[in-house]
Amino acid sequence: MSTMSEFDQRAVVALLEQEIDAQRAAVDAIQYHGLDSLLDGTPQTLSTIAALSGLLLNVIEGGVQALIEVGRIEVDGDRVIGIGGLTMTPTEHSLTLPNAEMHTWCTLDAVGIPAALGLAATVQTRCPHCSARITVDVAEGGATSAGAVALFCPTAPCGNVRADFCSATNLFCSQTHLTLWRDNNPTMIGHDLDLDATVGLGHAMWGQYKHPPNGSE
């Protein structure tokens, strides 16, 4: 099984950040304020994000469009209902947070977001191979599970985060079942991560959201 020392976590972060540099200020504001609000179970409006960030509403709207094009946001009218992997839309990955019951686009999101932000949380998902229920408890920046769970982390080129990356980023009840899944999906390119390595990648991906971007309140 691969560990964080055996592959470059920065490459995974860069893989998901491509194609949005032109809208960086707006994207950073949307991701921070949208995620911060969803942690309490509340969708943030684009006008409020504009006010909090000090950016014009049309700039924020441009950032939303850039995020839509790469599959990194869900909007309902002017409300952000999914961002950075956290969503109000029901999925097979549930996340119990201190102030909300939420869902995530994949299990890396479910484990990584609360770990990176230092939140206590409980993750519920199912093994893609055998459908066994998996529970992961997150606390104080780390995570524990009853079994030796393993995550498949794709590393192939990614044009749409939700469609290309999140759809394949799953937690398995054991390395054995992840290996069997790999045997049945030989074209999938990626690394197998244990729970500690999954947490480490989560910190690399979401640690920046502990603090607001420059210029935001």
Q: Which segment of 3-7, 106-110, 122-126 scores lowest on mean pLDDT? A: 3-7
Angle between helix axes 195-206 and 107-117 (nearest 10 degrees) is: 70
Q: What's the whole-number mean pLDDT along residues 34-49? A: 97
Q: Please name which of 90, 40, 47, 46 lies closest in space to residue 68, comparing C-alpha atoms.
A: 46
Which residues share a beta bridge with 100? 97
Q: Which segment of 19-33, 77-91, 96-110 scores lowest on mean pLDDT? A: 19-33
Q: Please name which of 44, 162, 147 lies closest in space to residue 109, comparing C-alpha atoms.
A: 162
- pLDDT tens digits, 182-205: 999 999 999 999 999 999 999 999
**Per-residue confidence band for 213, with pLDDT thresholds at 50, 70 and 90:** confident
Q: What is the pLDDT of residue 19?
A: 53
Q: What is the pLDDT of residue 192?
A: 95
pLDDT at residue 6 tops 70:
no
Question: What is the spatial distance between Cα 59 and Cα 50, in angstroms, rounded to a whole number?
Answer: 8
pLDDT at residue 94 tops 70:
yes
Query: Higher-confidence residue: 73 or 15?
Result: 73
pLDDT at residue 29 tops 50:
yes
Q: How large a percentage of the chain has pLDDT more than 90? A: 81
| Averaged pLDDT of the chain | 90
CB-CB neighbours of 77 under 10 Å: 8
Domains of the chain from N-terminus onward: 15-84 (1.10.10.10), 88-207 (3.30.450.410)
Calculate the alpha carbon distances from 45 to 42, 52, 60, 76, 82 in Å. 10, 11, 10, 9, 12
Question: What is the spatial distance between Cα 46 and Cα 57, in angstroms, rounded to a whole number?
Answer: 7
pLDDT at residue 3 tops 50:
no
Q: Which segment of 3-12, 68-77, 157-166 scores lowest on mean pLDDT? A: 3-12
Q: Are 134 and 195 in contact (CB under 8 A)?
A: no
Q: Please state whether the predicted TM-score (pTM) of the whole model is above 0.85.
A: yes
Specify the 3-state DSSP secondary structure of 58. helix
pLDDT at residue 141 tops 90:
yes
Six-digit token string for 198 = 């999954």
Angle at 32 between CA 26 and CA 36, to 5 degrees: 145
